Structure 1
Amino acid sequence: MAAAPAPPPPLLASHAAVRAAASRVAAYRPIRVAGDDHPPQVAALRRGDWVKLICGASFEDAADVRNLSLVYTLAGVDCIDCAADASVVSAVNEGIDVAASIVPSVQRPWVMVSVNDDCRDLHFRKAEFDPEECPPDCSKPCEKVCPADAISLKRVIVRGEHAQSDPVSDKLEGGVIIQRCYGCGRCLSVCPYDRIRAMSYVRDPATTAELLIRSDVDAIEIHTTGKGTGMFNTLWNSLGESVSNVKLVAVSLPNAGKSTIDFMNAIYTIMQSRAEGYNLWQLDGRPMSGDIGRGATRETVSFAVDLTSLPDRPPGFYQLAGGTNLHTVDYLKKAGLFKARTLPGTTTSEKIGSQEALIGGIAYGGYARKIVGRVLHKMPSQVGCMRIENHPGYLLEALQEALSLVGPVKGYPDLPK
């Protein structure tokens, strides 16, 4: 009779350094003011130090989402935004639960699902192509430019049925890994043969409504193109009473110039019919570009500068996204908007929103995934899900990367490496 397998080692036994770093983060939470009954996530928005991790509205690699959620929960983010897919939501919550098992004092971030009202939204598309249509000697620029490692092509030898008489040829196999593609579109322009297509879609409202009544979903974000309120209204009505279950409703929108404020006020009027929680406006300056470099963050900061100067903007919290990276805080400081409660140069009578920060915080997507992804890719390959907590050294390295991004917003003291 075979001996029973040995039980796995205790999860916490080898995480002393990780626990030490994350515990210092947890201990740094600002002291709550007497009489302030706002949830800690809302208190962060009011202070201007809210941080959201964007896993990707179309990114559905559950293993990566789980590990990212674990690392950024330890780093102290306030919210984790993910695809409106049940398996992805479960992956986020599993990552949060593991983080809490390592550091019980960690703050549990809100879990947000992202949906869209219009198939023209760039966040809701996938690349698609048939590798058999690709020349076998292609240099594969699509594979090289993909920030999500969502394209894998392999050259294979094809032999005829009769090896002696039939010619030998080769071809490419593989293609787009659908779960990993999040629609950035960089592969579309680099294909030398114009073989790659974008496949757009709209999330099913009925499926989304089912997610919103789960106890482990706290918020919803609706992406809209800003080209009219009709589709937003249709989606809002389709979601029905499910939106009353969430703590926060966010609307992600691009800068549409002078029409932006009128559009936002119209959207706010629609939402007032059923929204019972807080509302947030996500200013999507340059979508899915934060991993490109310093210049990518300028558009979202410029968007923030424009909106905060207008007195007729709709109520709610304001948060940056699109092109955000390690340079965003510096650009906000230069604009006088980092944790600012009044605009630079205003007099007392002109103060706007003096009880809370003009910009509630920052959402990090592509850049946040990139810096932790570099560590995830170092982990040894194994059968099944690669759990970063099983590799404490890599977990500590990933946490340090996450803290380099979250820390400047939160104001963490320098943590030893």
Structure 2
Amino acid sequence: MAAVPAPPPPLLASHAAVRATASDVSRFRGARLAGDHPPQVAALRRGDWVKLICGASFEDAADVRNLSLVYTLAGVDCIDCAADASVVGAVNEGIDVAASIIPAVQRPWVMVSVNDDCRDLHFRKAEFDPEDCPPDCSKPCEKVCPADAISLESIMVGGEHTRSDPLHGKLKGGVLTERCYGCGRCLPVCPYDRIRAVSYVRDPITTSELLKRNDVDAIEIHTTGKGTDTFDALWNSFSESINNVKLVAVSLPDIGESTVDFMNVLYAIMEPHLQGYNLWQLDGRPMSGDIGRGATRETVSFAIHMASVPERPPGFYQLAGGTNSYTIDCLKKAGLFQSMTFPGTTTSETISSQQALIGGIAYGGYARKIIGRTLRKIPAQFGRVHIEDHPDHLLEALQDALSLVGPVKGYPALSSMK
């Protein structure tokens, strides 16, 4: 009797639908010749750049790996992550697995995010002592956390079960630090005001070492718009490493009439040592991640303001903060989706570089949320989930990712495949 052949490895067996879908994406992108520019820069010039924000404070390597895998297959141009070596490694592992499924996949740039002072909302963690919590608390913090970063469990004390006699029990657990990205939703819902936010600043020496790695392509500096001294000091600390990256991004909120002047001061600080490309991230509604149409209005309003100002600093412009499935529609209504002229101007006023006013969109909390729904369905093995080992779930996650990336990229018949 002939021996039964061993089944092929998972990446060669059960990924037919995933391969077919991702191959369509790769073929479409390959047909768009980048010319003299890297494909990521060509995307910024066309206005169809897409960045995945894993979270400047999100350090769950397992989730970051799977998010990077899925969104690489979906065709993002950049993956932004915490400036942490293990997180950077997780991003690159996800990209590598995507490339093992579709060898022709375009590798996105890997970006690390840092801050110039501790007031930036992206660089904080929730913290509390569960033993300070009343044992009969309804745990609303656990319910509202979008990252599943709070886990509280009732335990017995002195032989009494907590549920039967809450006064003799207590809670254990608390905040899972690596999963918390500082959204702040837990702070106002605590009925006992026991949760606090702890802010921090990424170490510039550690970041400089990351910039020297060959698997880090870009850096993003978050600034609050409340001063330039800390930005200047941070930028100078990168003087020996900043030229290792291809792109420098600055993320900032809309601070009103002084926004453009502030940006021009920052550009003057950067310009002497800036050899690569630069990008401005217009963070309209920081740390939102909401799904409603209203959540994206602030970032689109920010875009309208910046696109109409002739004295804005050089560089590409990209939206973030409150971006979701409604952002493209709102940009189109404003006349700024992949547009090279501000609405109402004449063709003679077209910007000389022939690049889109808004180079693209970064998706953060919303992008993580729609993939997280699928990841939570997969049973963990040895504490880890490798989404490629579950082809049906990988296809589901890829389709969700394409529903977000496809409308920006203009994938034919793919943006509506769900």
- Aligned partners of 2:305, 2:186: CA distance in 1, in Å? 32
SS of structure 2 residue aligned to 1:12:
helix
Corresponding residue number in structure 1 for 2:27: 27
1:53 CA displacement: 0.1
Within 5 A, what are the aligned runs for 1:154-303?
154-159=153-158, 169-303=168-302
Q: What is the alpha-carbon root mean square deviation over aligned residues?
A: 1.6
Question: Which of 188-197 and 381-390 deviates more?
Answer: 381-390
Q: TM-score, normalised by structure 1?
A: 0.95
SS in 2 for 1:359: coil
Using the alignment, how far apart are the partners of 2:180 and 2:10 within structure 1? Answer: 35
Match of 1:152 in 2: 151
Please give the secondary structure, in 2, of the residue aligned with 1:273: helix
Contact 1:159 1:168 in 2 (8 A): no
Alignment check: 8 A CA contact 2:135 2:167 kept: no
> d(CA) in 2 for partners of 1:65 and 1:294?
27
User: 1:259-315 CA deviation, whole Å, 9 max, x = no partner?
Assistant: 100110000011112111100000000011123422110000000000110000000
- Contact preservation (8 Å) 1:187, 1:196: yes
Shift in Å, 1:348 = 2.9
CA distance in 2, matches of 1:71, 1:33: 24
Partner of 1:391: 390
CA distance in 2, matches of 1:354, 1:213: 31
Counterpart contact for 1:343–1:352, Cα < 8 Å? no
Instruction: Work out the number of aligned pairs and report it.
Output: 406
1:130 matched to 2:123? no
Post-superposition offset of 1:384: 3.1
Distance 1:8 1:407 in 2: 31
- Tell me what 2:406 maps to: 407
- Pair 33,380 (structure 1): closer, same or farther in 2 beyond 3 Å: closer
Tell which deviates more after alignment, 7-16 or 216-225.
7-16
Amino acid at match of 1:250: A
Determine helix, strand or coil for the equivalent of 2:126.
Answer: strand
TM-score between the two structures when normalised by the length of structure 2: 0.94
SS for the counterpart of 1:338 is: coil
CA contact (8 A) 1:342 1:353 kept: no
CA distance in 1, matches of 2:7, 2:406: 37
d(CA) in 2 for partners of 1:354, 1:211: 32
Residue number in structure 2 paired with 1:164: none
Q: Match of 1:26, as an amino acid?
A: S
Supply the distance in 1 between the matched residues of 2:297 and 2:145 (Cα, whole angstroms).
Answer: 23
**Percentage of identical aligned residues:** 80
Question: Which runs of 5 or more residues in structure 1 are unaligned?
Answer: 1-5, 162-166
Unmatched runs of 5 consecutive residues or more in structure 2: 1-5, 161-165
Task: Give, in whole Å, the separation in 2 of the partners of 1:194 and 1:262.
Answer: 39
Q: Partner amino acid for 1:221? A: E
Q: Distance in 2 between matches of 1:153 and 1:213?
A: 40
Measure, in 2, the Cα distance between the counterparts of 1:369 and 1:109: 17
Corresponding residue for residue 117 of structure 2? 118
Segment of structure 1 superposing worse, 349-358 or 308-317: 349-358
Q: Is the 8 A contact 1:60 1:88 kept in 2?
A: yes
Q: 2:65 matched to 1:61? A: no
Distance 1:66 1:185, change over 3 A: same
Q: Structure 1 CA distance, aligned partners of 2:99 and 2:374?
A: 21
User: 1:28 is matched by which residue type in structure 2?
Assistant: F
Q: Which amino acid aligns with 1:275?
A: L
Task: Name the residue aligned to 1:3.
Answer: none
Q: Which amino acid aligns with 2:59?
A: E
Matched, 1:98 2:97: yes
Give the whole-Å Cα distance in 2 for the aligned partners of 1:268 and 1:208.
Answer: 21
The alignment status of 1:307 with 2:306, answered yes or no, reads yes
Q: Counterpart in 2 of 1:17?
A: 17
Give the secondary structure class of the aligned counterpart of 1:172: strand
Letter in 2 for 1:242: S
Distance in 1 separating the partners of 2:16 and 2:333:
39
Shift in alpha-carbon separation, 1:350–1:337, aligned structure 2, 3 A? same
In structure 1, distance between residues paired with 2:58 and 2:113: 11
Q: 1:10 to 1:138 in 2, by over 3 A?
A: closer
**Match of 2:236, SS?**
helix
Q: CA deviation at 1:413?
A: 1.5
Q: Which amino acid aligns with 2:396?
A: E
